[in-house]
Amino acid sequence: MKKTLSLLFILLIVANTQAQVPGYMGKRFQAGYGFYFSPALFGSTAGGKTIIGYNGNAESGTLAFNTIHEGFLEFTMKKKTIIGASVRYYKTTYDNYNDLYFFPQTSNGTYYNGNGVGHIPGFFKVTGLSYSLYFKLYFRHFTAPWGRYFIVGPTLRTMTTTYDPNSMPVQSTSYNGTTSSYYPDLGGSKQSFKSFDIIAGFGRNRVLYDKITLDYGFNINVFALMSSVLEYEGGNYASDYSASEYVRKSTRWRSRGLNRFNAFCKIGYLF
């Protein structure tokens, strides 16, 4: 950490003592806060607990938004290129019951209590951190960090899910109409996952009073968007997850729901 800070310090000094450097009037760094939001559409059900809007769930007809918070640091490399790094954070819950079907399949391939399907009540609590390294490429006529740009870069999404196994019994109904209840083994009560993605998008940078940057636009997580489209079936997400992979897959589904498309607004300080 100490080495990293020293390196950053040296970089700052070098960048600001050079005569005639790219950037906004010679200022090359931006650091600031970003606010991301997206309409809570499929895969976004959160039981009204983490998103803007009461009972937020677009699938039930209520307008709601997912939100993500970001801290970023950007450096103007060239006249039309910025390299940036960001950490995005979100904390959400996931209402399995309303969104996800569970095919109660055992590990040896047989179903609990016949071929019934069911819902698992209760919430997952998902905390996510996404680490991105990205490039902003400014369009013709514009010069970094001012103007319209295209953003692209790799991102690593990490997410941690916690839940209470005792609040998640499966209510399964068999073919003959018999309903039974049991607690499947969904794994540990705290599980962490990672996934890789590519962010891409378009934005617009403004500079206010030669010091404050305002950045707005939208971006997508390419793989998240693609898989969401491919896996979406008629309003509900359907799969035959086994109990052992239920938490992992549903958490990632929720994470994709948050990240696949976002509008953003950032405010930064130019130095």
Partner 1 sequence: MQSISSRAFISAMMVASGLFAQQNLSENYVPLKSQGTLPEVFTQDIKKVVKQDITDLNKSKDNDKNLKSTYFTEANYEIEKIVKSGNTLINDEVSLYLNRLADVLLKNNPTLRNELHIYALKSSVVNAYSYDKGYIFIDLGLIAQAETEAQLAYILSHEISHYTKKHNIQGYVKNEKIDRDHYSGKSYDDKLLEKCQYSKEFESEADLEGFKLFELSNYNFTQAEKAFDVLQYAHLPFELVEFKKSFLETDYFKIPDAYQLKEVSSIKNNANEDDSKSTHPNTAKRKVAIGELIKNRNNSGRVDYILSEKDFMYVRDLARFEMCRLYLKNRDYPNAFYAAYILEQKYPNNQYLAEVISKCLYAISLYDKGDVRYNKDSHLSDGIVGHSEIESYPQQIYFLINKMPANEWTIMSLNYIYRSHKKFPNSVPLNAMADSMFTLIKNVSWGISDFVRTDQKKAAETVVKKDTVVKEIKSKTDMIANIQQERINNNHDTAYYKDIYLDLFMNDKEFVSKFPAASNVEFTPSSGSGFGDYKPSRNNDYVKTEVKRKKKGKKGDNIENNVKIEKVILLEPFYIQIDRAADKIDNLSSDQKQEKLIETVKTIAEKENFQTVALDPGLLTSGDVDKVNDYSVLNDWFFEKFDGDRNSDGVPIFNTDQVENLVKKYGTSYVLKIGIISLKGGRKRTWFYSGIIDLKTNKEVFKLYEVFREKDTRDLINSKIYQTFFELKHGK
- Name the residues that contact partner 1, by CB under 8 A: 19-22, 24-26, 79, 141-143, 146-147, 206-210
Q: How far is CA 202 from CA 35, 36, 136, 148, 185, in A?
A: 15, 14, 9, 7, 43
Among residues 76 and 161, whose Cβ is nearest to partner 1? 76
Among residues 101 and 216, whose Cβ is nearest to partner 1? 216
In angstroms, what is the minimal distance from the CB of 143 to partner 1? 5
Q: How far is CA 116 from CA 176, 185, 231, 248, in A?
A: 10, 17, 22, 22
Among residues 23 and 47, whose Cβ is nearest to partner 1? 23
Among residues 193 and 202, whose Cβ is nearest to partner 1? 202
In angstroms, what is the minimal distance from the CB of 195 to partner 1? 37
The secondary element (H helix, E strand) that includes residue 207 is strand 190-208
Count CB neighbours of 137 within 10 A: 13
In angstroms, what is the minimal distance from the CB of 27 to partner 1? 10
CA distance linking residue 219 with residue 217, whole number of Å: 7
In angstroms, what is the minimal distance from the CB of 146 to partner 1? 4
CA distance linking residue 168 with residue 121, whole number of Å: 5
